[in-house]
Chains A and B, each alone.
Chain A
């Protein structure tokens, strides 16, 4: 497995979150809470997860859905699964 370009990963996941929530990528900071700051609901979280799975050809189990609370956590989860 090649090293993951974290900067690239951040931008790609940010783009996915931006597309699903229809929020300007500039407002999607690492710490911005998806629910409180970006108005994300459970369906949107699932859409984010499904888009990530499709993009990186990985499977992320359902129990991780609750952990997708901000960009930082999402990147952490995705990089864990990319390293597996």
Chain B
């Protein structure tokens, strides 16, 4: 199943310039999510990171993985949009991400409970792994 941007926007609370999932191309609730984040030259952070060479900040690659991961909790039968807080992240970056790149973020759960979870994410650009991470998060009360 695919999820369009309007659905993502209903579920995730992040907004410009911090919403980092453009679309979900594969979705199996609680099992697997593949998200797309297109990195544009107009991203506001490229003004400062870095003025002489635009490189997507690693923490924002992490953020994109975490947001895609939160989509694992999306349930089309429920009109809910819970806020999720990150508990911990463990990330490794392999290659830089530049303007024009399309990040394909694949997320699978390590352990999910009703209101919390640990997920694994892998980000690829043109088939090459650029980052991997493990994130734990919990629904806000």
- Which residues in chain A, 15-68, are within 8 Å of chain B measured between CB atoms? 41-44, 46-47, 49-50, 53-54, 62, 65
**Size of A's binding interface in residues, CB under 8 A:** 12
Closest to B87 in A: A43
Distance in angstroms between the alpha carbons of A20 and B85 in the assembled complex: 18
Question: Contact partner of B136 among A43, A53, A62, A65, CB < 8 A?
Answer: A43
Q: Does A62 contact B114, Cβ atoms closer than 8 Å?
A: yes
Chain B residues near A49 (CB-CB < 8 A): 111
In the complex, whether B9 has a CB less than 8 A from a CB of chain A is no
Q: Give the A-binding residues of B (Cβ under 8 A).
A: 87-88, 110-111, 113-114, 116-118, 136-138
Give B82 Cβ to nearest chain A Cβ, in Å.
15
Give A50 Cβ to nearest chain B Cβ, in Å.
4
Q: Does A62 contact B88, Cβ atoms closer than 8 Å?
A: no
Give B74 Cβ to nearest chain A Cβ, in Å.
19
Most buried by B among A46, A50, A54: A46
Q: What are 20 A-B contacts defined by CB distance under 8 Å?
A: A41-B87, A42-B116, A42-B138, A43-B87, A43-B88, A43-B137, A44-B87, A46-B111, A46-B113, A46-B116, A46-B117, A46-B118, A46-B136, A47-B88, A47-B136, A49-B111, A50-B110, A54-B110, A62-B113, A65-B113
